[in-house]
Amino acid sequence: MRKILVLTAALFAIALAVFFAKSAAEASAPLSMTEAADAACNGCHAGGNLAISLPSGEKMSLKVDPTLLAGSVHRQLACTSCHQTLTGYPHPPSDIPSVREYQLSREDLCWGCHADKVAEMQESVHRKDVSRPDVATCADCHGAHDVQAPAAAATRLGSVTACNGCHANERLMDRYGISTGVIQAFYDDFHGKTVALAGLKSGAANVEVAVCADCHGAHNILRADAAGSMVAAANLPDTCGRCHEGANANFTSAWLSHREPDLGEAPLVFLARWFYRIMIPFIVVGLLAHVILDARRARRKGEAK
Amino acid sequence: MRAARATDPEAGVIRFQPHQRIEHLVLIVTFIALAVTGLVQRYYSVGLSQWLISVMGGIETTRLIHRGFALVLTLGIAYHLAWLDYRLFTRHARPSMLPTFQDFRDIVNELKRGLGLKAAPTHFGRYDYRQKFEYVGLICGSLILIVTGFILAYPVAVTRLFDGQVVAAALEFHGYEATLAVLVILIWHLWDVVFKPGIFPGDTSIFTGRISPERLREEHYLEYAELTRKAPAGE
């Protein structure tokens, strides 16, 4: 009997210990300051259609989907890590003239942490002349609350869409003499097809496929004809060689620089294409004519019997 | 040519050796697999292509299957050419599958008959001109596809020796040649061996290896005449 009592007491003690240890562990992780603050922000900004009208006439949404931020690479940051002046309520009055001005003004904040990107970004074709109204801001390529890790499969595949955002815009590209056909040329070649199809497999998408940035660079992107460009003829063997080990100068001309083949630059490709484009319809018409004659003859033969 | 064994009124005339029938079976599977896994890449934006690619387990797996069957096709063509070399140059067999001038005369004659003009019946040998066209087309097409496919699979190695334009051109040749091959098979071969009146629901001689004496007489009169001359009636 005493044995049973001791055993019960021991079990009770263990149960108590486990219970308190557990609640102690829970208690040691209270809502952090940032989470508490974020919760306060979300109270107004998570739902609804909160927006302000800017002097430019634009309407800027102030809605922030908390799941976007939670899914981003910046998920450990608090709202006020970036929105440093908005620590209290009511907020100080807005001094934002336009969406674009706002995006540009936010960049100092990005560069505060990502200082290593500033120099190459300011040299790049997308930023060199910051007076131009079209220069790309951090948010144009990376988004804002949904910034993703650059090496993640989804980011790499999605980056092509980010480039297309401007490069598929004919009015915009005309200003710089760039063809919007570069996109289709990419998709029609091996790399682009893989990008277009990589998402079809369930599970992890293939990331070992060249997206725009792999050949052209990202923050360091230069005009394709600039000497320092990753796609300049002299640098191409190195650029291709990052994936295609052993690539030489010959190899680089396998890629027709986003251009339709023509007689001058790629006569073999041009002639092969047009040889088949003319021959195939001829052969198909010949085959069909043969089949039709055959069928007619068989019918005549059947009628004669 | 095995005339004594060739005519057996019960079973029909032997037309294809077992190894030829196996070659054809392997080719059916290989051709379909290569056509499907290749065309879905060529016409990648079509919904059906994307569905097939996801069914096959993604673009990487699709390409792996394509290259696997490409190896089978390469070995098959190599075997066939080696056998051809032996038959033609060691055994001095007649190249009955290669086109001759007579085939062009046959085409004109058949065209006249097809249009309902007056013309004598055309007498074909062991293979008529369509079978020869398909055969030569298949061998040449396969060689083009094998060579250009190799270039596309090993571009770095190829461009050690050749200009990169060769790779871009290989993609053109490979895609168009494959499209042409599929069209010829779908339009002509399937008509000839499946849908043609008198043949429907299918010509079985490539599977059984035999053809009926009536059909041999009708479709390959010259061969029939030669066989019956060598093996007189009553045997």
Q: Is the pLDDT of residue B232 over 90?
A: no
**pLDDT band of B155, cuts 50, 70, 90:** very high
Question: Are the C-beta atoms of B96 and B127 separated by less than 8 Å?
Answer: yes
- B165 or A30, higher pLDDT: B165
Q: Of the spans A135-144, B19-28, B110-119, which averages the highest pLDDT?
A: B19-28
Counting as low any pLDDT under 50, the low residues of chain A are 25-28
Q: Which residues of A touch B37 (CB under 8 A)?
A: none
Longest dimension (CA), chain B: 66
pLDDT value at residue B56: 92
pLDDT value at residue A47: 80
- B76 or B5, higher pLDDT: B76
Q: Which residues of A touch B109 (CB under 8 A)?
A: none
Burial class (CB in 10 A: 0-12, 13-18, 19+), B167: buried
| C-alpha to C-alpha distance for B66 and B174, rounded to whole angstroms | 13
Which residue in the set A201, A245, A269 is minimally distant from B57, CB to CB? A201
**pLDDT band of B234, cuts 50, 70, 90:** very low
A-contacting residues in B 60-99 (Cβ below 8 Å) = 60-61
Every domain of chain B and the residues it spans: 15-93
Q: Is the pLDDT of residue B3 over 50?
A: no
Beta strands at B210-211 and A59-61: parallel, antiparallel or unpaired: unpaired
- The kind and range of the H/E element at A61 are strand A59-61
CB contact under 8 A, B164 and A196: no
Q: Which residues of A touch B198 (CB under 8 A)?
A: 298
Q: Who contacts A7 (Cβ-Cβ below 8 Å, separation ≥6)?
A: none
Tally helices (H) and strands (E) across chain B. Answer: 12, 2
ipTM over 0.95: no
Question: Are the C-beta atoms of B159 and A254 separated by less than 8 Å?
Answer: yes
> Which of A202, A294, A299, A301 would you mutate first to test chain B, the one with the most B CBs within 10 A?
A294
| C-alpha to C-alpha distance for A77 and B223, rounded to whole angstroms | 86
Neighbours of B13 (CB within 10 A): 24
pLDDT value at residue A18: 56
Residue A197, min C-alpha distance to chain B (Å): 6
Q: Which residues of A touch B61 (CB under 8 A)?
A: 201
Joined tokens for residue A7: 């055993």
CB contact under 8 A, A197 and B114: no
Is B117 touching A (CB cutoff 8 A)?
no
pLDDT value at residue A23: 52
pLDDT tens digits, one per residue of A156-204: 888 998 999 999 999 999 999 999 999 999 998 899 998 888 877 655 5
In terms of CA atoms, which chain B residue is nearest residue A296? B114
Q: Is the pLDDT of residue B8 over 90?
A: no
**pLDDT band of B4, cuts 50, 70, 90:** very low
- A130 or B212, higher pLDDT: B212
Q: Which residues of B touch A247 (CB under 8 A)?
A: 156, 159
Residue A62, min C-alpha distance to chain B (Å): 37
Is B109 touching A (CB cutoff 8 A)?
no
| C-alpha to C-alpha distance for B120 and B102, rounded to whole angstroms | 15
Global pTM value: 0.84
pLDDT value at residue B148: 98
Residue B57, sorted as left (phi over 0), alpha (psi -120 to 50) or beta, turns out to be left
Q: Who contacts B98 (Cβ-Cβ below 8 Å, separation ≥6)?
A: B132, B136
**pLDDT band of B198, cuts 50, 70, 90:** confident
